Structure 1
């Protein structure tokens, strides 16, 4: 089961990298919840709207799986900065239900 969950999360990242946002959204449960360092989002469509504007690019360094959970260490290219981050994806019934992302925001805040 965890291999399938890992595949779903990796496919989601690939779609974001390709800027195929419709396919990326198809990986998310409609009630998807995002919790991040800089804020939260409720709903798959709300989250994908943000991703369309930000166009982050992800380079997965390491993948960890445990049951319904997939965790990546990845570099996220946020445009002006590339930030080492960890993303915890909770997958249920073939869809990503939640994502919690942690990173040190100081390099982003120092730009302002």
Structure 2
């Protein structure tokens, strides 16, 4: 089972990196919830709309799986800054139901 949930989460990251946002959204449950350091989003389409604007790129460094959860330790290229982050993906019935991302936001808050 964990190989399947890991594949769903990795495929989602792959689609985001390719900027294939329709396929990325197909990995998400319609009622997807995002919880991040800088805010929350509810709904797959709301989250994907944000991703289309931000166009982050992800480099997965390490993957952990447990039951219906996948956790990545990754670098997120946010344009001017690359931030080391952790993303916790909860997957149910083959779709990502929620994502919680943690990182130190201080580099993003500093004036350049």
TM-based fold match above 0.5: yes
Please tell me whether residue 60 in structure 1 is matched to residue 60 in structure 2.
Answer: yes
Matching residue of 2:83: 83
Matches for 1:12-27 after TM superposition, within 5 Å: 12-27=12-27
Runs of at least 5 residues in structure 1 that lack an aligned partner in the other structure: none
- Matches of 2:92 and 2:82, distance apart in 1: 30
- Considering only aligned residues, what root-mean-square deviation do their CA atoms show, in Å? 0.7
- Matches of 1:3 and 1:36, distance apart in 2: 25
Matching residue of 1:98: 98
Which string of whole-angstrom CA distances, capped at 9 and with x for unpartnered residues, describes residues 32-81 of structure 1?
00000000000000000000000000000000000000000000000000
- Matches of 2:47 and 2:74, distance apart in 1: 19
Matches for 1:30-69 after TM superposition, within 5 Å: 30-69=30-69
TM-score (norm 2): 0.99
- Matches of 1:111 and 1:40, distance apart in 2: 24
What is the aligned residue count?
112
